[in-house]
Amino acid sequence: MSAETARATGPATEMAPATEMAPATEMAPATEMASAMTAAAPAADGPQFDNYEATPYDHDLYRAQSIATGISGLGAVDDEAIAFFREFGFLVVQDAFTPREVADAVDGLLDLIDGKVAGYRGIQYELKAREKLPTLTREEKQDYVRKLIYYVEHDARLKAMETKPELQAVVSRLLARPGEAGGPTPSLWADQALLKPPLIGREKPWHQDHAFFNLPMGTPVLGCWIALDEAVIENGCMHIIPGTQAAGPVVHFRRRDWQICDTSVELGKIAAVPLRPGGLLFFDGLLHHGTPPSRSARRRRALQFHFIPEGTAKTSPEERMAVFGSEGKDVEC
């Protein structure tokens, strides 16, 4: 999508020329087996580590051609913004959360990482933390965490981010099908905290989130990615390809990760999504997106929620893989 097209079709979010992107690191992780979030329950014993073997990839995969800027505040999400989301598959909302809410969320994550919540086991560490973990301080430990899952019921401050009434109201409108009066009651399908540690935070290759979820095709799936730090190109902000949700499901492959084939990424249409702390990105579950590795000493911490309409039935992994899986299909990567 060109900058002119974005400006002409959606005043809610404007696309501006990107600055030159710093080359992505030449090394990336090996295959990460995909699984539905509901099946990825945290292990009950011992810390979990991201086990990967670095392999090369083309840094042009994250060379942004434009910058997505958005509206300010959840109250500014009007009919034009909803129409923009339906056409392009994303919507940027800066200042969606206050500095106090962001600070509370960070404290909630730090308490979980620091082991202050008995029984919480949803932390995955970077592989480099394996030998250092017993000696790390509270501040140091977060810089070796890759992600946290299933945390909203373990900390009231993080639960408050997900249940914020203004957020829920917008989520309901974005989950509504075209022509539907009002919107469904949102149901939280998945909650993650995505931490890209300074200098070592790895790439997340291009993918569609629906490819990870055992949900029927056609289910509205809404991602909500909330920045807790300033997210910029250098520390691995979100990158998207506007409008790609309209093409439907894409076959994914087990290569560096569970991903869209590198050769299928629409180079030349990539938009970076820098966010201020408290800003967020709404995105369709079929929108192509990914994040480059961090080449910065600045932290990039984010919360991510996925919402679906209440009452949605689950499907099986076999049904999901029949659509998104690569093995047995007459395709190559």
pLDDT, tens digit, 9 for 90 and up, residues 110-144 = 999 999 999 999 999 988 888 888 898 878 889 99
The CATH number assigned to the domain holding 100 equals 2.60.120.620
Tokens at 95, concatenated: 């200042």
Tokens at 245, concatenated: 């949700």
Residue 3 lies inside a defined structural domain of this protein? no
**What does the pLDDT read at residue 272?**
98
Residue 128 lies inside a defined structural domain of this protein? yes
Q: Is 34 exposed, middle or buried (0-12, 13-18, 19+ CB in 10 A)?
A: buried
Place of tokens 């008995």: 118
Instruction: Categorize the per-residue pLDDT at 53 as very low, low, confident or very high, splitting at 50, 70 and 90.
Output: low
Residue 331 lies inside a defined structural domain of this protein? no
**What does the pLDDT read at residue 128?**
83
Place of tokens 């190109």: 233
What pTM, to 2 d.p., does this model score? 0.88
Residue 87 lies inside a defined structural domain of this protein? yes
pLDDT, tens digit, 9 for 90 and up, residues 192-232 = 999 999 999 999 999 999 999 999 999 999 999 999 999 99
Residue 156 lies inside a defined structural domain of this protein? yes
Its sign, for the CA torsion 248, 249, 250, 255, is positive
Backbone angles phi, psi at 237, to 5 degrees: -65, 170
Residue 265 lies inside a defined structural domain of this protein? yes
Degrees (nearest 5) of the Cα angle 16, 18, 21?
165
Domains identified in the chain, total number = 1
pLDDT, tens digit, 9 for 90 and up, residues 152-183 = 999 999 999 999 999 999 999 999 988 787 89
Residue 245 lies inside a defined structural domain of this protein? yes
Residue 103 lies inside a defined structural domain of this protein? yes
Domain span at residue 135 reads 14-20+28-35+45-324
Mean pLDDT confidence for 221-245 = 98
